[in-house]
Structure 1
Amino acid sequence: MKTLTILYIGRNQEITDTMNRLLNAREEWKGITTCLEEEALVMVKDIPIDLVLLGNGISAAAEEKLRADLIRIRPVLKIIQHYGGGGGLLYSEIMAALNG
């Protein structure tokens, strides 16, 4: 089975740390996290990322710009919002995004 590389971008460092732990708890996932948009853009350029999760605290205007920048770098990149809920909910959101 292919390992999925998932990038989480959030504003709250504590939540971002938790997401890093949750994403890397599954053997089939490799989680990468950041609170910085600029760092996220570099990661998308340099790492074959399968999915981006946008976390809480990102304003609507910042999210719109971030989505546009990410898609400009990698047009087929899947991007979804994730505002909470670990375990089963997180798994379901990720699998739905990848299969949809």
Structure 2
Amino acid sequence: MINILYIGRHQEILETVVRLINANEDWFGAGAETDETAMNIFSTIHFHLVLLGCGIEEASEQKLRKFFQETNPECKIVQHYGGGSGLLKNEILSALENNLS
């Protein structure tokens, strides 16, 4: 099972992305709208991938990246640009491929 954390500031988009992730039987998706929630979830689950959604301020992104890399250096962190389920799947597969090679 591949664990994926999506962080986004827009609740509707967050729910949609997590639903799309969980539609794949090989993936488990969790979502967070705040930095604190994201760090708490990340501390309790071993994630393979973090997707950073739009709307995350630069300072928050830097803080999150530092925390994730210190907590789990093997976890891949990528920017999610949106664009529908096909693009999301390709982003995830590409990030996982790059992480494995």
| Alignment partners' CA distance in 2, 1:95 and 1:72 | 24
Structure 2 residue aligned with 1:65 = 63
Question: TM-score of the superposition, structure 1-length normalised?
Answer: 0.91
Q: For residue 17 of structure 1, report the CA deviation from its aligned partner.
A: 0.9
Q: What RMSD, in angstroms, separates the aligned Cα atoms of the two structures?
A: 1.0
**Percent identity among equivalent residues?**
49
Q: Which runs of 4+ in 1 moved over 2 A?
A: none
Q: For residue 83 of structure 1, report the CA deviation from its aligned partner.
A: 2.0
Structure 1 window deviating more from structure 2 (38-47 vs 50-59): it is 38-47
Tell me if structure 1 keeps the 8 A contact 2:35–2:60: no
Structure 2 residue aligned with 1:6 = 4
Structure 2's unaligned 5+ residue stretches are none
Tell me if structure 2 keeps the 8 A contact 1:80–1:97: yes
Q: For residue 88 of structure 1, report the CA deviation from its aligned partner.
A: 1.6
Tell me if structure 2 keeps the 8 A contact 1:22–1:86: no
Correspondent of 1:78 among 60, 76, 88: 76
Structure 2 residue aligned with 1:17 = 15
Structure 1's unaligned 5+ residue stretches are none
